[in-house]
Structure 1
Amino acid sequence: MSADKTTISVNRDVALRFAKLARELGISIQKAATEALTAAEEILKDGENPTHLLYLYRVFKAKSSTDSLSLPLHLLAKIFEELETGRYTTLFYEAGRELGSVLAQWLSFQDLVKTPQILKLLLPVRTAQCRVEENNARFTLIFPPNIKRLIPLIVAYLRGIFDAYGYTQHKAEQREHVLDIVVYNCIQ
């Protein structure tokens, strides 16, 4: 073997599927494997699990199919200063349900529970955590302080996402810019 190559052991089925896909796409297996390991290395440097990269890609695909737009929070908060947020709750719920329906095709609800950071890709949250309590999931989300007024709309959006997964029993509590939302009977 040359000095710039090495051999690693991986799950045989994964290796076979990977090689087959690379061949079908006309990509060098060595090049594809090197690029995949380079991406995984970057994730590991941040102390994360490389599976998070897969979740990121799946969320990107789901989000891309729902015509969503990332907008600077201070602009959105400014717009809603002049609007009655309650008028938009149903629209935010429906948008969340639409995204949740697509997202559920790519990620299980258990993926959200295990990796609540996924919600950082969907919401303007600084910190996302999840604790399992009996068969319930308690998500704690910390938002930038300047968007407290938008949190009821975000709650509606989350309710839509959770409902799309089939978990329609949930309770949300807001303390300043912190949101606790408990999803009941969702842990098998």
Structure 2
Amino acid sequence: PAKVLVIGGGVAGLAAVGAAKSLGAIVRVFDTRGAVREQAKSMGAEFLTVDIHEEGESGTGYSKEMSPAFIRAEMKLFAAQCKEVDIIITTALIPGKGAPLLITKDMVDSMKPGSVIVDLSAEAGGNCAYTKPGEVVRTPNRVTVIGYTDMPSRMAGQSSSLYANNISKLLLSAGPFTGGPKGHFM
């Protein structure tokens, strides 16, 4: 199975975990906020940590800037993970600032050919050094870096189908279908 690293365990990151797990991937999650640990584990993902204990949650529940020692430790972790994983999905943002650079060019250059990075923070500058907002970049070692800034609108058809399916399941769970001429629920 594919190995997926999700950096940032907010709404988008946890959605990525769910999608990857449903496709049978081995998923690893990293987030500076300890509260994300249980959410990631409950979805069947492995939660990665560093040896430095520092809480990354601000008073508003979002991530905050970390100490230089913590950043060095997480960069070491990411460098090791880049050599192992097939897909990286980054969603890390710090409110009021640009996206933190978490995946360096050296890290990408160490990845296997055919690997993919989806940088959902591209609009704020991106978490990957190769990210170009609004573009897909193919690196010299054949890693694809997706920096689309309009990802939700690119998925409109799939989103509509998923929503319709969920509404259908909700209605079917509300009561038996009578099968009458107008298909009324009782």
Hey, which of these two has a bigger chunk of helix by percent?
Answer: 1
TM-score (norm 1): 0.28
TM-score (norm 2): 0.28
Looking at both structures, which has the greater relative contact order when contacts are Cα pairs under 8 Å and sequence separation is at least 6?
Answer: 1
